[in-house]
Amino acid sequence: MLGCNRLCAIAVVAAVIGIASGITWGAMTGFWIFTALVVATTLAYAGVNYSYTIESLGATPKRVSISVLLILITVALVPVYTSAFSAPQSGALILAAITTLSLGWAHGTMEPSGP
Give the pLDDT of residue 99: 94
3-state secondary structure the chain: CCCHHHHHHHHHHHHHHHHHHHHHHCHHHHHHHHHHHHHHHHHHHHHHCHHHHHHHHCCCHHHHHHHHHHHHHHHHHHHHHHHHCCCCHHHHHHHHHHHHHHHHHHHHHHCCCCC
Q: Which residues of 18-32 are buried (b: 16+ CB within 10 A; e: fewer)?
A: beebbeeeeeeebee
CB 62 within 8 A of CB 69: no
Give the pLDDT of residue 2: 56
How far is C-alpha 98 from the chain's CA centre? 14
CA–CA separation, 114 vs 112, rounded Å?
A: 6
pLDDT tens digit at each of 115 positions of the chain:
556 788 888 889 999 999 999 999 999 999 999 999 999 998 888 888 888 888 888 888 888 888 889 999 999 999 999 998 888 988 899 999 999 999 999 988 887 765 5
Model confidence, pTM: 0.60
